Structure formats: structure tokens, C-alpha cells
Amino acid sequence: MIKNFILIAAGALTLGLSACNNNASETTNPMAEGQAGQGADTLAVASGIVEWTGSKPAGKHNGTFTVSEGQLFVENNAISAGEFTIDMKSLKVLDIIDSAQNAKLAGHLMSGDFFQTDSFPTAKFVISTVTALATPDSLGNTHTIAGNLTLKGATKGVSFPAKVALAEGNCTAECSLSIDRTQWGIVYNSKNILKTLGDKVINDIVDLKIKLSAAAN
């Protein structure tokens, strides 16, 4: 049944943040958040989207969330701090053509079984560090981003590789990461909770791709 599939946001920051690699990402306890110095330049997030893919043995679904607002702080041509907000009520399902079926899945994903958007209408990512790699990796990632993702009222530290370009008061960031939804209390039909559901089990791992662009005010 459609309701047995999960879609997640976030993405991601495809803050556009996506743990791009082999989707290598790491989840930890909340981290210390980055602090901007008094001389930091402020870039406002102009656009952002989080693409999500959720799966189960019988198939998968995908869709998007939009980034509603955010800002980055730049010092010495490097990002020192920043954050962005994801509008969880902007959830869209992209792979189902039938309007009734599409609305059914979207409604279930926004219910208490998943994101509970009436109580938690937004998610948030706050940067802790942005560290340049010595050389781009095989997927073209240039930096490692670490920070705190708050989703459904829970905050966890995450880190992942990303492609970051910063020049002349403009910044773009793109990344792909995989998160374990149960770390944020989203346990509906998890294999760890209900071990005998067969093809009704929903994969705990959700793939996110985040894309962002920001510019000086």
C-alpha cells in the first residue's frame, strides 16, 4: 500500500546539502554550532531544495521539500557559520501521477506516522564547520560539512561531503547524504520495530540531496 512507503526530506540541504560520496554520512550527538565574527559577510539563501528518496522491498518513492530561508556567514573566503530552514509542509511526491494516490501518500507522510507537520512545520540545519578538502574527491566534492539537523523536534549532528563554490559574494552548495530516520523518532514500519512485516517494512535509510544558492544582500 502507498502509505507503507516513506519519503523524507531534507535534504537536505541539497542547503542543498547532500552527503555526496557513496552517500557517506555520519550521525552524532548535537555539535557546537559555528559562530560568525563581527566582520563576517552575510549571504542570504536565495533558493534551495531538498530531494528525498524512500524505499522498501517492493519499490521506492521520491519527492522534494523547499528551503524557505537561511543565511551563510563568510570570513576569509570561507563559510564560518550559517543555517537554513526547510518547509516541511512543502512536501511533494514526484513519482505518482494519479492525483488521489499522490495526495494519499503526501498526507500520510505529513501525518504523525512520519513528519507530523502540524506540530513540526519546519526542519532546520545549523552549520558547525565547513572544512575544505585538500583536493576534490572522486565525485567532485570539495568540502566536508558538519552541523545539526533538527527534524520532528529532535536534533542530531550530521557530517557529509559536499560541493561548495564561493566567489564574488555568491555561494552554491550541493550534496547527497543518507540518514537513518529512526534517529529522529520516525519509526513507522521500521524493521527494528516490527520485524515480521515482510514487504511492508520501510527502509530506515532515507537518501537526501540538497541544493542551495546564496548571495550577498
Q: Are 162 and 175 in contact (CB under 8 A)?
A: yes
What are the sequence ranges of the domains in the chain?
A: 2-216
Alpha carbon of 130 to those of 36, 173, 192, 199: distances in Å? 12, 11, 33, 40
Q: How far is CA 144 from the centre of its chain?
A: 15
Percentage of the chain modeled with pLDDT above 70: 86
Q: Is the pLDDT of residue 61 over 90?
A: yes
Q: Could you give the CA distance from residue 164 to residue 65 in angstroms, rounded to a whole number? A: 21
Q: What is the pLDDT of residues 13-28, one digit of tens each?
A: 333 333 333 455 778 8
SS (H, E, C) the chain: CHHHCCCCCCCCECCECCCCCCCCCEEECCCCCCCCCCCCEEEEEEEEEEEEEEEECCEEEEEEEEEEEEEEEEECCEEEEEEEEEEEEEEEECCCCCHHHHHHHHHHHCCCCCCCCCCCCEEEEEEEEEEECCCCCCCCCCEEEEEEEEECCEEEEEEEEEEEEEECCEEEEEEEEEEEHHHHCCCCCECCCCCCCHHHCECCEEEEEEEEEEEEC
Q: What is the pLDDT of residues 157-190, one digit of tens each?
A: 999 999 999 998 899 999 999 999 999 999 998 8
Which pLDDT belongs to residue 58? 81
Give the three cell numbers for residue 190. Answer: 521500521
Which pLDDT belongs to residue 140? 95
Four-way CATH pick for 2-216: 1.10.357.10, 3.40.50.2020, 2.40.128.110, 2.130.10.10: 2.40.128.110
Q: Could you give the CA distance from residue 217 to residue 198 in angstroms, rounded to a whole number? A: 52
Which pLDDT belongs to residue 39? 86
- Of the pLDDT bands very low, low, confident and very high (cuts 50, 70, 90), residue 198 is low
Q: Is the pLDDT of residue 127 over 60?
A: yes
Instruction: Report the pLDDT averaged over residues 30-58.
Output: 92
Which pLDDT belongs to residue 201? 84
Q: Is the pLDDT of residue 2 over 70?
A: no
Q: Could you give the CA distance from residue 85 to residue 103 in angstroms, rounded to a whole number? A: 24
Q: Is the pLDDT of residue 12 over 80?
A: no
Q: Which residues pair with residue 176 across a beta bridge?
A: 209
Q: How far is CA 184 from the centre of its chain?
A: 12
pTM of the prediction? 0.86
Which has the higher per-residue pLDDT, 104 or 38? Answer: 104
